[in-house]
Structure 1
Amino acid sequence: MTAIEFSDASLKFPGSSRWAVDQVNCEIERGKLVVILGPSGCGKTTLLKMVNRLYEPSAGTILVNGQDIRRVKATELRQQIGYVIQQSGLFPHMTVAQNIGVVPRLLGWEKPRTQARVDELLNLVALPPEDFRDRYPAQLSGGQQQRVGVARALAGDPQVILMDEPFGAIDAITRTALQDEILRLQQQLQKTILFVSHDVEEALRLADRILILRAGQVVQYDTPFNILTRPANPFVYELMGADDMVRQLGLLRVETAMTDAPPDYRHTEAEPTIARHDSLREALSLILRTGARQLTVLENDIAVGILTLEHIRDSASVGVGA
């Protein structure tokens, strides 16, 4: 089911001679994390902000959960969509609990329900409520502030979340930890996330699908696996660094290359297993170390796929599209 649909979505800023976003057409499937990727000035953040009408589209249509965004009051629309920006954007004069509770209060939730939701979300993002509830943003590290920002975006339980380079100002170690946190949360909550990034490795690590923009136009919209192995043109090939096969294997998740396990599939205890979110490089190492013909891919201890050496080899085969 489609959560967000762009139909010839376009935007031209007043006084500009060119379109910042030029006839974007794509569908964002519900429950998927889609990364918008491209060089600076290509329209990534502009497209994102069109979804919650921080920028009003000049032409075309954007549907969120089947509803034309122009037929909804902007304030109501934004209350239905989570929004996370770089450097968290927390209100400095509010405590952590007050920041997270902004949308529930706007939605008219009663105080006990809001307090319970705040504690639930702090636990979800690994910030114990008793330690963090009453702190102010200035008393938090950058990584902790971003976790609170994510919790605030989830507070009203929106189905759609927009994330505008949320980890761009964070050091590399904390950035990796936060990426892990997003993957964990997404596996648990299955929200529809539109995530702007300029970082190719971040896109490959997080995305179910990647939307590549150039000069406001969609160049390619596909899975990380397909974009790396079948880039649409030389621009995508160069942007993704598609000739670095070892790097590919370290960034691509097992689930991008596996085949689905048959409904009646049963793996033996002797057969090596790997998690679907582990990297293909880890899978290759396991196959070489054990000499196994294939790996059983698990999710919550249930077999969901099969991965062979041939699957991994295919994932490292690069070709540039016409």
Structure 2
Amino acid sequence: MSQIRFDQVSLRFSGAARSAVDRCSATIDSGELVVILGPSGCGKTTLLKMVNRLYEPTSGGIYLDDRNIRQVSRTALRRQIGYVIQQAGLFPHMTVAKNIAVVPELLGWSRPQIQARIDELLTLVELPPQEFRRRYPAQLSGGQQQRIGLARALAADPQVMLMDEPFGAIDAITRTTLQDEILRLQRQLRKTILFVSHDVEEALRLADRLLIMRQGQIVQFDTPFRVLTQPADDFVRDLVGADDMVRQLGLLRVKSVMVPLAESQAVSSELTLSPQDTLRQALSLVLQTGAEKLTVVDQGRAIGFITLDEIRRSSQSRQS
């Protein structure tokens, strides 16, 4: 189990006119990837950093599996939580292997156990151990450094991961690759992940649920589908571009909710998609046109169709 629960959590920094985090309550379920989204200064990173006690709340409580984290020493708490930040935060004077080994060494693992874990993690993040374990951070690309940062955060096999805009300083192509990596690893490992982002496209792509903040408060906590189709207010609608249903945001492939057609059935509408299109694109066309169904076409041949109900069911099944 690795549930995180915020219970009326507030934090006001000394001398501040208002609280950085204001009476926030939410439960992040075990194995869930929740993206905290909002504009700069809304309290995203502050809320995240309270989970590993880098900041202490002024009031309210934070619970890890129903235990108030204030009952756990900061050191013990942080050793059971993985933490990934922008630009990886690697120790420049240490090799890749030494960077990954930091927490296992603190926990007293044996040398053979640590070495096996280093190789396991480098393989997991698709960096061959024989090639990368002796390199230093300066010898790595930005994307490779972030992969090592992720491997280091996973070293002691924590059930909770905190990720503070980890891809914010990475170029767009590498960023997409690393997002794919997070989704792949999450399918394998099922960690409980809190992921701070200011990038709406990234948030919609990664999140099981979105926790949207404004001025220190949570304004909506829901699935991407419901945030897009039922935004809590105009702020949320504008933030996620709920009225802009055209851009490709890569949530789910249309083929995952496709209904087969008879081989002889012809394309009966200009409202068509390809198997490579996304759930967001399908939702766009359905909501914009009011069409009952969209035809999926592959190399000029109709191979299926998709309806709004199918899109909704697929989105809900992704959350289960």
Identify the TM-score tier after normalising by the shorter chain.
Answer: 0.7 to 0.9
Q: Which segments of 5 or more consecutive residues in structure 2 lack a partner in the other structure?
A: 264-275, 286-293, 314-320
Partner SS, residue 287 of structure 1? strand
Task: Label 1:66 to 1:278 Cα distance change in 2 as closer, same or farther (>3 A).
Answer: farther
Deviations 1:285-306 (A, max 9, x none): 8724453455xxxxxxxxxxxx
* Distance in 2 separating the partners of 1:87 and 1:221: 28
Q: Structure 2 counterpart of 1:291, which letter?
A: A
Helix, strand or coil for the counterpart of 1:246? coil
User: 1:191 is aligned with what amino acid?
Assistant: K
Measure, in 2, the Cα distance between the counterparts of 1:269 and 1:52.
Answer: 55
d(CA) in 2 for partners of 1:310, 1:106: 52
Paired position in structure 1 for 2:65 = 65
1:54 aligns with 2:54: yes
- 1:149-188 matches, within 5 Å, as 149-188=149-188
CA change 1:143–1:313 in 2 (3 A) is closer
Runs of 4+ more than 6 Å apart: 267-270, 282-286, 312-315
> d(CA) in 2 for partners of 1:139 and 1:286?
49
**Is the 1:258–1:311 contact (alpha carbons within 8 Å) kept by the matching residues of 2?**
no
Post-superposition shift, 1:278? 7.7
- Tell me which residue corresponds to 1:280: 279
TM-score, scaled to structure 1: 0.83
Alignment-derived partner of residue 80 in structure 2:
80
- Whether contact under 8 Å (1:287, 1:309) holds in the other structure is no
What root-mean-square deviation, in Å, do the aligned CA atoms of Structure 1 and Structure 2 show? 2.7
3-state SS, counterpart of residue 10 of structure 1: strand
Q: Deviations over 1:53-86 (max 9, x none)?
A: 0001111010112211000000000000000000
Q: 1:217 to 1:136 in 2, by over 3 A?
A: same
Instruction: Give the conservation status (yes or no) of the 8 Å contact 1:4–1:65.
Output: yes
Q: How far apart are 1:242 and its partner, in Å?
A: 0.9
Unaligned stretches of 5+ in structure 1?
262-266, 271-276, 295-307, 316-322
The alpha carbon displacement at 1:282 in A equals 7.7
State the Cα distance separating 1:253 from its structure 2 match.
Answer: 2.0
Distance in 2 between residues matched to 1:73 and 1:157, nearest whole Å: 19
Aligned residues: 289
The residue correspondences of 1:26-65 to structure 2 (distance < 5 A) are: 26-65=26-65
Rounded Cα–Cα distance in structure 1 between residues aligned with 2:261 and 2:303 = 12
Give the Cα separation in 1 of the matches to 2:118 and 2:135. 13
Structure 1 residues 314 and 4: alpha-carbon distance in aligned structure 2, compared to 1, 3 A threshold: closer
TM-score by length of 2: 0.84
In structure 1, which of residues 266, 271, 291 is the aligned counterpart of residue 302 of structure 2? 291
Give the superposition deviation at 1:197.
0.3
**Contact conserved, 2:246 with 2:281, CA < 8 A, in 1?**
no
